[in-house]
Structure 1
Amino acid sequence: MDVSQIASLATGLDNMELGNKVSTLVLKKSLDSQQSLAAGIVNAIPQLPANPAIGRNINTTA
């Protein structure tokens, strides 16, 4: 191996490491976004009434 091949290999490895770091950061941001979206959906679920019988029956004879 001559010097230019070693330099080319080192540059290629650095670029690959940088690409991996960028991909990891993008994945982390995506997961954080999905987590906050899921938390918002869970918080949007209405609470059950204090009396569980209220709101569960339909009067069909009216």
Structure 2
Amino acid sequence: MSPASVSSAPTEVHQAASIFALKKSQDLQAQSVATLLNSVATPPAASNPLHLGANVDVRA
């Protein structure tokens, strides 16, 4: 084994561990976002007549 390959081995292990940690972090964030989005309730449909609220008088 050459000295260059021995000195690069820790760097490769560190890079692999960093990539693994990054992917794990992204997976956890994706799960958190999915949970948050699923917890948001959809607003109920309006039961008002179609003409009600169509025009708003902005002058006081």
Smaller-chain TM-score bracket: 0.5 to 0.7
Alignment of 1:1-62 (within 5 A): 7-51=2-46
Aligned length: 48
Structure 1 gap segments, 5+ residues each: 1-5, 54-62
RMSD: 1.9
Structure 1: how far apart are the matches of 2:47 and 2:4?
68
**Unmatched 5+ residue regions in structure 2?**
49-60
Identity value in percent: 25
TM-score, normalised to structure 1, is: 0.66
